[in-house]
Amino acid sequence: MNISMTGRNLELTDALKGHISSSIETLKKFNLDIISVNVIVSSQTKKGKEHAIVEFVINLAHKNTIVIKQNDEDAYVAIDLATSRAQKSLRRLHDKETDYQKIGLNEVKAQEVDIKAVEQEMEDEIVPVELDLYKPREVEDVLADLKESGKMFEIFLDNEHKTRVLYKRNDSKFGLY
């Protein structure tokens, strides 16, 4: 990366050049192919006040050139503000390149999806179970069977040929439905 620093109506001191160099070094972290950075620092008088104007011209390989102008009363503050704006622009470019989440419409169309197979995977599988409902049973007999087994409930026909459910409750008692 080539760095050129120019001062217009202003002499660039070693401290100012060092601040510019360290600010430009922070732009390398975005891993974009930066060819050159031209920094122009100029001084201008408006309404009796001195203003420093900093212009960054960042040339990127295979992309457009980024131009950032920033003015402030202090040259160091103007450099910091221009650097933060440059970082924001380079971050946007970097995120556009490395955004792995985006899939285009053509890629989605190219993927073949078997809708019937997906529906079958999503459906709950129901397994039929035969119940021993052939003869009526007493509630006491079912209660004794439920206590012996590890089941949570038992479905049976009572003496009046009604379907009943005997179940264990959370308070260690039994319920009859």
pLDDT of residue 84: 96
Quickly count: other Cβ atoms within 10 Å of residue 33's Cβ: 10
Spatial contact of 45 and 39, defined as CB atoms under 8 Å apart: no
pLDDT tens digit sequence for 50-63: 999 999 999 999 88
pLDDT band at 102 (very low <50, low <70, confident <90, very high): low
Domains in the chain with CATH codes: 2-97 (3.30.160.100), 139-176 (3.30.505)
Q: Percent of the chain beyond pLDDT 70?
A: 88
pLDDT of residue 69: 96
Q: Indicate the DSSP class of residue 6.
A: E
Q: Write b or e for each residue in 108-139: b if 16 or more Cβ atoms lie within 10 A of its Cβ, otherwise e.
A: eeeeeeeeeeeeeeeeeeeeeeeeeeeeebee
HSE of 175, CA atoms in CB hemisphere, 13 A: 8
pLDDT tens digit sequence for 69-100: 999 999 999 999 999 999 999 999 888 887 66
pLDDT of residue 138: 87
State pTM to two decimals. Answer: 0.56
CA distance 17 to 12: 6
pLDDT tens digit sequence for 8-54: 998 999 999 999 999 999 999 988 889 999 999 999 998 889 999 99
